[in-house]
Structure 1
Amino acid sequence: MKNKDRYVQPHNTFEAMQTIEQLFNQYRHAILTDELLAYHQQLVQRLQTDIYEAAITEDDQKQLKNLNQMISSMQTWTRTKMMNRPFHYKMKHFKLLDEQPTTFKNRAIKNNGAKQHLSGGH
């Protein structure tokens, strides 16, 4: 097998960032080990060097902003895991989103009026 066929080789920064996002979402809940921390730091280093330089050459300001946001998000994961706290976020579109969004309960109070309108009980 040739070396160029062996690894995933993205064509632009967007594809590279998507690949790293998918990898991050796979291991974000794993127990922190030395190997995982080294792997994570390698991905962050790759974002800060190779992919950042490629984003500058592409001259896309939105992509640079997303890249900086992704780097800071991945550093947040490192800090959280080093403090031995659970990580309740998922990366989507290069941003951290809460896995359990806030839900609002709707309590409808039935009154004797028309059936189409339910009172909110304010």
Structure 2
Amino acid sequence: MTNDNERYYQPNDIKDALQTIQKLFNTYVDAPLTTELVTYHQKLVNQLQTNLLPLANQSHDQLRVDQINSMMAVMQDWLKLRLSGKTFGGKMQHYKFVSRQKTQFKRRVHKIRGNANHRASRH
């Protein structure tokens, strides 16, 4: 039987904890909304507010404080959007919201000298 300390992930510092929460958030962004998911999400937001924000304030690290605040804003916006029935349409990257809508370029493939392996694209 394993120890309770070995069962849960223990981050080394604030940056490690933020990366872990960001990774966890991105795994369930598109999942169907259930009461368990909402409770889990609120637990993560609560971790940011009660554990990580005071640690960042205590160490006078303004960059981490700004990152935590932007993460909390994105996570609260996600919950508001999902509860209203809308899709989120993005993910969290570098502790900020990043849209999935990217510019698509039309490509016309032009075969050069008839060799199928070497193709040039002329936009």
Query: TM-score, normalising length from structure 2?
Result: 0.81
Of residues 83-92 and 51-60 in structure 1, the stretch that sits farther from structure 2 once superposed is: 51-60
Question: Please, what is the CA RMSD of the aligned residues?
Answer: 1.8
Aligned to 1:11: 12
Q: How does 1:30-69 map to 2 (within 5 A)?
A: 30-69=31-70
Q: In percent, how many aligned pairs have the same letter? A: 40
Q: Which amino acid aligns with 1:38?
A: T
Aligned to 2:25: 24
Q: Which has the higher contact order (CA 8 A, sep 6+)?
A: 1
Q: How does 1:63-82 map to 2 (within 5 A)?
A: 63-82=64-83
1:31: how far off?
Answer: 0.8
- Number of equivalent positions: 109
Q: Deviation string for 1:87-106 (max 9, x for gaps)? A: 11110010010012234558
Unaligned runs of 5+ in 2: 109-121
Aligned to 1:97: 98
Taking the aligned partners of 2:23 and 2:67, their CA distance within structure 1 comes to: 15
Query: TM-score, normalising length from structure 1?
Result: 0.82
CA contact (8 A) 1:12 1:54 kept: no
The structure whose residues are more often strand, as a share, is: 2
